[in-house]
Amino acid sequence: MQVRSFLVAVSYVGGYKRARGRRLVGLFAAMYFGGFRPAEAVGLAEPDLVLPATGWGSALLHRTRPTAGKLWTDSGETHDDRGLKNRPAEDVRRVPIPPQLVVVVREHLDIFGTAHDGRLFFSEKGAVVSSSTYFRVWQEARFLALPPTLVASPLAARPYDLRHSALSTWLNAGVDPTAVAERAGTPLRSC
């Protein structure tokens, strides 16, 4: 229920016409319902998704768009275009996406379409969504979604907390830890 409240709050951030928050509802939903890292969600492209009319879908993750800064990328762009974290550059990870996320992504595509390169999440001008942009939207949404006493708390302090919450929810629901690690792209290490 808290995540759903947050997603509704995100949709209210910024004016309706600019749709600053509405453009990011799907991004945050991907972090929670899919357990994606923020840079994985930012790199999602329509050709990599299977979005049936009902039921579970899937995403083929192979690209991340982390914010590195122009001085730190080979291309001179603010965002790197990389493979998956802790994996060979050409590696692909298939991730099942639950019906809730399928619905949100389909709605997002109906309203906003895609960027010129097929990415789902982009700025008004088609640019890659920066981490500072989605962080600011998240901070504004916290004031809308939480009572004042919780706004001052560390609850959902940053967007990455959605991923942590997703993984914890799966584990608490009894999903095998190996399956959770595989789905999240986190290799299990033996102690």
pLDDT tens-digit map of 121-179? 998 888 888 888 999 999 999 999 999 999 999 999 999 999 999 999 999 999 999 99
Instruction: Identify the CATH number of the domain in which residue 140 sits.
Output: 1.10.443.10
Domain membership flag for residue 13? yes
Residue 180 falls within a domain, yes or no?
Answer: yes
For residue 7, pLDDT beyond 80: yes
Give the span between the Cα atoms of 57 and 30, in whole angstroms: 12
DSSP-assigned beta bridge partners for residue 94? 60
Give Cα 185 distance to the centre of its chain: 14
What is the Cβ-side half-sphere exposure of residue 168, based on CA atoms within 13 angstroms?
6
Enclosing domain of residue 15: 2-184
Q: What is the pLDDT of residue 58?
A: 95
Rounded to whole angstroms, what are the CA distances from 148 to 4, 65, 180?
18, 34, 33
Q: Which of 95, 99, 105 is nearest to 35 (CA)?
A: 95
Write the CA distances from 164 to 116, 154, 160, 161, 178, integer angstroms. 31, 13, 7, 5, 16
How far is 95 from 59, CA to CA, in rounded Å?
A: 5
Whether residue 114 is contained in a domain is answered as yes
Q: Is residue 189 part of a domain?
A: no
Structurally, the chain folds into a number of domains equal to 1
What pLDDT does 186 receive?
77
Mean pLDDT on 86-104: 83
Tell me the pLDDT tens digit for each residue of 25-53: 999 999 999 999 888 898 899 999 999 99
Q: Is residue 110 part of a domain?
A: yes
- For the chain, give percent helix, strand, coil, nearest 5: 45, 10, 45
The C-alpha atoms of residue 46 and residue 109 are separated, in whole angstroms, by 8
Tokens of 95: 């991730």
Where does the pLDDT of residue 191 fall: very low under 50, low under 70, confident under 90, or very high at 90 and above? very low
Q: Of 187, 188, 186, which Cα lies nearest the Cα of 36?
A: 186
Question: In this structure, what token pair is assigned to residue 134?
Answer: 């989605």
Q: Maximum distance among all alpha carbons in the chain?
A: 52
Residue 12 scores a pLDDT above 50? yes
Residue at 190 is within a domain: no
Tokens 């097929």 found at:
118
Please check whether residue 14 lies inside any domain of the structure: yes
CA atoms within 13 A on the CB side of 78: 8
CB 65 within 8 A of CB 50: no
% of the chain surpassing 70 pLDDT: 82
For residue 77, is it within any domain?
yes
The confidence score (pLDDT) of residue 15 equals 78
